[in-house]
Amino acid sequence: MRPLQATAPSATRSPEANPAPLRPAEEPRTNRIAPDPSPVSVVLRACRPRQWSKNALVLIAPAAAGVIGRPLVQAEVAGAFDSFSLLASATYLFNDVRDRERDRRHPRKRHRPIASGKLAPKRAIRVATGLSVLGLALAALISPALATAGLGYMALTTSYSIWWRHVVFVDLAAVAGGFVLRAMAGGAASGVPLSRSFLAVSAACSLFLVAGKRHAELADGRPSAGTRTTLSRYSRRSLRLVLAGAAGFSLAAYAWWAFARPDPSLWFDLSLLPFILWLARYGTLLGTGAGEAPEELILRDRALLACGAAWVLLFMGGVYVAH
């Protein structure tokens, strides 16, 4: 009988014999709920600050007159920009309160603060009233002519929301008129007289952009009878006729201005070429269904940006270099 011998412990142990170190229990993953936006951010979003870029039209008249480099003119034009931004936001708020029921049936507009219920209509009206007063007061401080342009802009946008938006083709003219008033505001703020050619080109180009927006909305194919009552009464053919007429008139007015100037300049003559290319490129993009947001399309398309930059260089060369 062999004596019992002590056996050495085995080099390998079972998991039960060598348990893994304890680790803190992992917390279950939960979906984080985004915090509610602050009241200030909700109001700011309802004011649509991205649309303020349209008010850059106040720069055109003083820049074309060659006075934009003067510090006083720069201050006046900046004040006109701020004034029209305040007035535009006020009209957006008034319009959204009026259209909140229709906007709730729109796939994109239903997310707006008033339509979604994040901003109460009464509060929106109070904010809009305050913005209107501030905008008109600022315009009056700069010049009575600018205050008159601001009052005209408010009257036009208000009447559009109530009446003109329901009248075919008149709605296009009313929206285009808002762009023209912005361009006129720059001249009113800086004391620059506006020529008939300036007004004609501004009106035709504005109508071109507005008709292009309607064409894109119609080509989109989404139901819109509840949000834009006149859209169903347009046809692509009628809008294309408006586009062709507006483009042709703007080219004719611009060419007449460039070639019939009392002080002819090759810079202005050459600026007609990028102007034509810009209109042609924009019309091509409209044919693909783009143009529902003109400001986004203009800032996104490289060809449009290149044509616009070439036009600015040639036009400014005619204003500052040739003289």
Banded pLDDT at 107 (limits 50, 70, 90): confident
What pLDDT, in 10s, does the model give residues 53-95? 999 999 999 999 999 999 999 999 999 999 999 999 999 999 9
pLDDT-wise least confident of 179-188, 196-205, 212-221: 212-221
Lowest mean pLDDT among 2-11, 131-140, 180-189: 2-11
- Alpha-carbon separation of residue 64 from 187, 195, 198, 221, 258 (angstroms): 10, 11, 9, 40, 12
How many percent of the chain have pLDDT more than 90? 75
User: What's residue 16's pLDDT?
Assistant: 46
Residue 277: per-residue pLDDT: 98
Mean pLDDT of 171-181: 97
End-to-end CA distance of the chain: 124
Check residue 122 and report its DSSP letter: H
Say whether pLDDT at 303 is over 80: yes
The pTM (predicted TM-score) of the whole model is 0.84
Tokens standing for residue 45: 């979003």
What is the per-residue pLDDT for 321?
Answer: 87
Rounded mean pLDDT, 267-275: 96
**pLDDT level of residue 220 (50, 70, 90 thresholds):** confident
| Confidence (pLDDT) at 108 | 85
Say what the pLDDT of residue 262 is.
79
Alpha-carbon span 93 to 122, nearest angstrom: 11
Q: What is the DSSP string of 77-95?
A: HHHHHHHHHHHHHHHHHHH
Band (pLDDT 50/70/90 cuts) for residue 151 is very high
Provide the pLDDT for residue 32. 55
H helix and E strand count, the chain: 13, 0
Q: What percent of the chain has pLDDT over 70?
A: 86
According to the model, what pLDDT value does residue 36 have?
65
Residue 279 has pLDDT above 50, yes or no: yes
Mean pLDDT lowest for which of 27-41, 76-90, 119-133, 135-149? 27-41
Instruction: Please report, for the chain, the start and end positions of each structural domain, with discontinuous segments joined by +.
Output: 44-192, 195-323
Confidence grade of residue 232 (pLDDT, cut at 50, 70, 90): confident
Computed over every residue of the chain, the mean pLDDT equals 88
* pLDDT score for 34: 53
Read out DSSP for 128-149? HHHHHHHHHHHHHHH-HHHHHH
**Is residue 39 scored above 70 in pLDDT?**
yes
Mean pLDDT of 132-147: 98
Confidence at residue 12, expressed as pLDDT on a 0 to 100 scale:
45
Please state which CATH number belongs to domain 44-192. 1.10.357.140
Res 245 pLDDT > 90: yes
Average pLDDT over every residue of 194-211? 96
